[in-house]
Amino acid sequence: MIYKISCLLLSLALIFLDFVLIPSLAKPTPITSLNVLTYGAKPDGSKDSTKAFLAAWEVACASPKPTTIIVPKGRFLVGNLVFQGKKCTDAPISIRIAGSIIAPEDYKVIASSLQWILFDGVTNVSIYGGLLDAQGSSLWKCKNNGGKKCPTGAKTLLFTHSNNITINGLTSINSQKFHIVIEESNNVNIDGVKVSADADSPNTDGIHIENSHSVNITNSRIGTGDDCISIGPGSTYVSIQGIQCGPGHGISIGSLGRSEDEQGVENVIVSNVDFTSTDNGVRIKTWGKYSKSFVRNIVFKHIKMKRVKNPIIIDQHYCLDKPCPKQESGVEISNVRYEDIQGTSNTEVAVMLDCSKEKPCTDIVMGNVNLLLQMVNGSAQASCNNANGLANDVVIPFTPCLKRDMLLT
C-alpha cells in the first residue's frame, strides 16, 4: 500500500514539473519588430528618411533579442547609410523590405562617399526582398561623355568585415558603380537577387567579392554594363550556381596581380550558368606585371553560351594603364577545369588561353566542351599561348595545347 502511494505521489510530482517546465522550455525567443515609419520615415519618395533608418538600426543593434526591421511598401528616399556593428550584441537582425529605397536624384550627394549603403563589422544580418534604386544614370552619362570631373561613384550595397550574412530576394537597379560588394567577410549567402543596369553603364558590376571566404551566390539574374559577377583578390571557397547573366562582361576572376603582394584566389565553383549576348563567358584576367599572386582549383561546369563574344578566356595581359608596362604576368594559374560547356560564340575565337611566358598556365582540363560559331559560315577556333593541360572528352573547337587523355584513345 505504501509503495502504491509513493508511486502515485511521484507521478503527480512529474506531472506538475511537466506543467511548469515544459511550456517555458518550448517557448520561442520573442522577436522584436521595428517599423521605420515609427522612427519618422516617409514612404513618399521625397522626404529624407536617412535618420529614421539609422534610428531603427540603433535600437536593433542594442537588442539582446532577434530583431526585424520592417520597411513597408512605398518609396523611401535616403542618403548615405552607414550601419555599424561594432557595438551590436550580435543577436540576429533581419531587414524585411516590401517597398523601395531610392537614392537622391543628384548623383553627387552619395558619389563622394564611395558607397551608398554600408554594413561595417556586422554579424547575423539578413536582408529580404525590396528594391534599391541608386539612380545612377546621370553619372553614367557624365562618364560616357568623357567628363573629366565625374566622380568615381558609389557602390550601392557594401558589406565589409562582416560574418553570417544573408541577402535574399533583393533587387538592385541603376547603381552608380558596383551593385553588391562583399569585402573582408565570411559565410555569405546571396540568393534570388536581381541586378539591372544599362549595357553601357560603366563599372556597374553586379556582385563583387574580395578578400572573403565561403560566399555562395545562387538563383540570380544579373544584367549590367560590366561583370555580372567579379571575384577579386583573397577570395576563397566561392560557389556560384544558377545564374542568368546578360548583358555584361560575364563572370570574371580578376583582375588580379595589379600589386606585387596581392592575395590569390582559390577553390571556386561556377555551375549552371546561362550567358546571353555577353562580352565574355567565363574569364580569368591578370595584369601583365610581376606578382606573387595565384589562381588555382577553379571549376566551370554545366554552362550554356548564347551569342557570347569570348565564351572561354584566360587573359594574362590585361591592362588599363597607358602606356601598359608590357611585362609578363607573375600570377600563377593552375588546376582550372571546364566541364560541359555548350553554345555559340559571336566571334571566331571561342576559346582563348593567353597565358604568361613567366608563369605558364598548367593543369587546364576540358571535357564535353562544344562551342559553335554563331554565324552560318565558318567554324569556331581556339587560341593557346603558354598553356598546357588535358582534353579528357570531346572538346570543340580543337584546342592544340591540350593533350588527349590516352585512356580515351
- The residues assigned a catalytic role are 249
Residue with cell 557595438: 87
Q: Which candidate, 221, 237, 114, 244, places its Cα nearest to that of 171? A: 221
Q: Do 303 and 340 meet the contact criterion of CB atoms below 8 Å apart?
A: yes
Q: Which residues contact 206 (CB under 8 A, 6 or more apart)?
A: 178, 179, 180, 195, 222, 223, 224, 226, 227, 228, 229, 248
Residue with cell 582563348: 352
Instruction: Please give the Cα distance from 113 to 82 (Å, whole number).
Output: 10
Task: State whether residue 90 is helix, strand or coil.
Answer: coil
Q: Which candidate, 297, 316, 395, 304, places its Cα nearest to that of 342? A: 304
Residue 145 has which C-alpha cell?
561623355
Q: Which candidate, 60, 104, 105, places its Cα nearest to that of 78? A: 104
Instruction: Please give the Cα distance from 92 to 164 (Å, whole number).
Output: 9
Instruction: Please give the Cα distance from 4 to 288 (Å, whole number).
Output: 89
Q: Which residues contact 401 (CB under 8 A, 6 or more apart)?
A: 353, 364, 384, 387, 388, 389
Residue 214 has which C-alpha cell?
565561403
Instruction: Please give the Cα distance from 40 to 140 (Å, whole number).
Output: 32
Q: Do 85 and 123 meet the contact criterion of CB atoms below 8 Å apart?
A: yes
- The number of residues in the chain equals 409
Residue with cell 561546369: 301
Question: DSSP alpha helices (H): ranges in 68-191?
Answer: 108-111, 137-144
- Return the DSSP state at 152: -
